[in-house]
């Protein structure tokens, strides 16, 4: 697995999820397997198969989280307020929070530091005009209003 960039909050979130999976969910799934075994013949036991599948998926998630945490580099969360300039006019102000790739959530304004907009804004300063080439080829022009780290 390649290096993973996380904010401190993102690291804590992953650690909490890992703790839940190991301390709570493992016991729940073990109980589901035990109960399903009581239903009889394992070769035709859908409940048992479902519980074993859930166990495998959970163990996969645990391994993935542990690998991410091992490879994590902590970055600072950066909040950037900016407005897009289109046809010479400034559009309404937008606030982006720049985070690591695994924490990105565009619907909530959390963009990756590796995305075109995120990588351009993380290098910018207040009052900079930033031109970003989007994957579509379109150029987005942004004016940085404020940056908080």
Please state the domain count of the chain: 2
- What residues have CB less than 8 Å from 10, skipping those under 6 apart? 99, 100, 102, 103
Residues 10 and 30 in one domain: yes
Residues 18 and 61 in one domain: yes
Residues 68 and 91 in one domain: no
pTM value > 0.75: no
Residues 80 and 144 in one domain: yes
Residues 12 and 70 in one domain: yes
Q: Which domain holds residue 67?
A: 4-74
Residues 66 and 15 in one domain: yes
Backbone CA torsion sign across 52, 58, 59, 64: positive
Per-residue pLDDT at 146? 93
For residue 27, give the CATH number of its domain.
1.10.287.180
Residues 96 and 106 in one domain: yes
Integer-rounded Cα radius of gyration of the chain = 22
Instruction: Please identify, among 54, 74, 94, the residue that sits at the C-terminal boundary of a domain.
Output: 74
Cα gap 126→9, rounded to integer Å: 25
Render each residue's pLDDT in the chain as its tens digit; 149 residues. Answer: 678 888 898 999 999 999 999 999 999 999 999 998 887 776 778 888 899 999 999 999 999 999 999 999 888 889 999 999 999 899 999 999 999 888 999 899 999 988 999 999 988 999 999 999 999 999 999 999 999 98
């Amino acid at each position: 697995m390649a290096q993973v960039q996380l904010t401190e909050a993102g690291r804590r979130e992953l650690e909490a999820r890992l703790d839940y999976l190991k301390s709570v969910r493992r016991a729940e799934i073990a109980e589901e397997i035990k109960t399903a075994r009581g239903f009889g013949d394992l070769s035709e036991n859908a409940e048992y198969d479902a519980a074993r599948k859930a166990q495998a998926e959970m163990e996969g998630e645990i391994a993935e989280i542990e690998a991410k945490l091992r490879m994590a580099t902590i970055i600072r969360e950066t909040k950037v307020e900016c407005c897009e300039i289109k046809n010479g006019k400034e559009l309404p102000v937008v606030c982006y929070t720049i985070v690591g790739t695994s924490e990105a959530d565009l619907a909530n304004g959390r963009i990756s530091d590796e995305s075109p907009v995120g990588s351009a804004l993380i290098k910018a300063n207040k009052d900079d005009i930033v031109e970003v080439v989007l994957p579509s080829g379109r150029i987005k022009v942004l004016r940085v209003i404020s940056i908080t780290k």
